[in-house]
Amino acid sequence: MKYYYILPFPLLLFTSCTSRIMEIGFAGIIALFVLMFILFGLMFFLIARRKKKGEKSLVKFNNDIAIALSKFDTAEQKINMLNMLIARIEDDEKYKKDEDWQKKVLAKAHMHLATIHYRSGDEIQTLNSCTKVIELDDTDGMVFYNRGSIYSNRGMYEKALQDLDKTIELIPDFASAYNNRGLVHEKLEHYEEAIEDFDKAIELEGSPIAYFNRGNTYYEMERYQEALESYESSFELIENASDSELKEELEISVKATKEKLTDSEK
User: What is the per-residue pLDDT for 10?
Assistant: 47
The span from the CA of 34 to the CA of 28, in Å, is 10
- pLDDT per position as a tens digit, 112-169: 999 999 999 999 999 999 999 999 999 999 999 999 999 999 999 999 999 999 999 9
User: What is the per-residue pLDDT for 14?
Assistant: 31
| Count of structural domains within the chain | 1
Classify residue 10: in a domain, yes or no: yes
Classify residue 256: in a domain, yes or no: no
Query: Which residues span the domain enclosing 56?
Result: 1-137
Tell me the CA distances in angstroms from 250 to 155, 229, 256, one per residue in order.
24, 12, 10
Classify residue 170: in a domain, yes or no: no
Classify residue 43: in a domain, yes or no: yes
CB-based contact 141:174 (threshold 8 Å): yes
Classify residue 221: in a domain, yes or no: no
Classify residue 247: in a domain, yes or no: no
> Which of 180, 177, 259 is CA-nearest to residue 219?
259
Tell me the CA distances in angstroms from 53 to 99, 109, 197, one per residue in order.
17, 19, 39
User: What is the per-residue pLDDT for 19?
Assistant: 37
CA angle 233, 236, 242 (to 5 degrees): 125
Classify residue 16: in a domain, yes or no: yes
Classify residue 218: in a domain, yes or no: no
User: What is the per-residue pLDDT for 57?
Assistant: 78
**Helix runs in the chain, H state only:** 26-50, 55-69, 75-91, 93-96, 99-119, 123-136, 141-153, 157-170, 175-187, 191-204, 208-220, 224-238, 244-265
The span from the CA of 14 to the CA of 83, in Å, is 18
User: What is the per-residue pLDDT for 28?
Assistant: 55
Question: Could you say which residues of the chain have pLDDT below 70?
Answer: 1-55, 239-243, 266
CB-based contact 179:210 (threshold 8 Å): yes
